[in-house]
Amino acid sequence: MVENKHPVIIGIGELLWDMLPVGKRAGGAPINFVYHATQLGAQGYAVSAVGNDALGDEILGELEKSGIKYCISRNDHPTGHVKVVLNDGIPSYDIVEGVAWDYLTATAEAEELVKRADAVCFGTLALRSPQSKQAVETLLSFAPEQALRFFDINLRGTYYSAELIDDLLQKANIFKINDDEIEVLKKLFGVSGTVDEICESFIKKYGLKYMIFTAGEKFSTIYTPTEKSYLPTPKVDVADTVGAGDSFSGAFVYNILTGKSLAQAHKAAVDIAAFVSTKSGAWPAYEKGAEQ
């Protein structure tokens, strides 16, 4: 892959406020991904929808402060928000329905943007409504063949099915799951075996370039058709893990696109995720050296 210090990296899907015990923080998995890639040097873009309300105004301000460019439609539904409960820093989510990002539209501006993408991130959650599902799938159809198409399964509530996951895997060339999600996949897809065997089977079945498996505070492994990279998770003082997985993803993709090896990109991803875990919320300010 040709090295590019400022790749175009796009997140399509939910943009929302995480309502944390310490107050509200901007979030939404695909946009968290973009936030971290942007902090590292990417041209990051958010594609989503917010309401014609004060929370919508505020979150667009957060994007601008963070250097994230955006293609955001506005509608008369409330800006998305999620009630987050922390248990020893581990979040659980109460995701409000019928919000602005449930009414995404595939605008001509967004289509032209996706045509320029070096990487696009998406997950299952934003496809919970028919309108957003159609919009996301339409936009993904404009991604260049050589672009990294990053599917972070991001299972929440009941907003997924085997059919939806299979459909999105057909569009992806990177697939990320965690240790909880692999248990769900075993049931949905009727697969069994070791983590290595399952991940390698998904690479083969869907022709993936990368398969990422994270196991929280224990370890992470990244697979390609010919390589495997394993790293233990660093021990840190955890504030919360909101957005840590997304920061891992954004850092990994940015480093791959800027010419790093699998091992180098994996190490950068692990280090950024550890840093984010020591901070509150998904978009912490980067400290000098945190991006190294």
The pLDDT assigned to 21 comes to 76
pLDDT of 277 > 50? The answer is yes
% the chain with pLDDT above 90? 75
Instruction: Give per-residue burial for 56-76: e unless 16+ CB within 10 Å, then b.
Output: beebbebbeebebbbbbbbbe
Contact between residue 39 and residue 158 where contact means Cβ atoms under 8 Å apart: no
Looking at residue 18, what is its pLDDT? 81
| Lowest mean per-residue pLDDT among 1-10, 48-57, 136-145, 179-188 | 1-10
Instruction: Please tell me the predicted confidence (pLDDT) of residue 292.
Output: 44
Query: Given this model, what pLDDT does residue 283 score?
Result: 83
- CATH fold label, 8-277: UDP-N-acetylmuramoyl-L-alanine:D-glutamate ligase (3.40.1190)
Q: Could you tell me which residue, 198 or 283, shows the higher pLDDT?
A: 198
Q: CA distances (Å), 173 to each of 119, 203, 211, 212, in order? A: 10, 9, 8, 11
pLDDT at position 90:
67
Q: What pLDDT does 199 receive?
A: 96
When pLDDT is cut at 50, 70 and 90, the band that residue 19 belongs to is: confident
pLDDT interval class at 146 (50, 70, 90): very high
For the ranges 132-141, 248-257, 263-272, 276-285, the lowest mean pLDDT is seen at 276-285
Length of the chain, in residues: 292
For residue 45, pLDDT over 90 is answered with: yes
> Residue 1: what pLDDT?
44
For Cα atoms 12, 15, 19, give the angle at the middle one, nearest 5 degrees.
150
Give pLDDT, residue 2.
43
Residue 94 in tokens = 């109460």
> Is the pLDDT reported for residue 290 higher than 60?
no
Q: Is the pLDDT score of 97 beyond 50?
A: yes
Task: Compute CA 134 distance to the chain's CA centroid, rounded to the nearest angstrom.
Answer: 19
| Domain ranges within the chain, ordered by starting residue | 8-277
Q: What is the pLDDT of residues 166-211, one digit of tens each?
A: 999 999 999 999 999 999 999 999 999 999 999 999 999 999 999 9
pLDDT single digits (tens) 81-96: 887 666 666 656 667 7
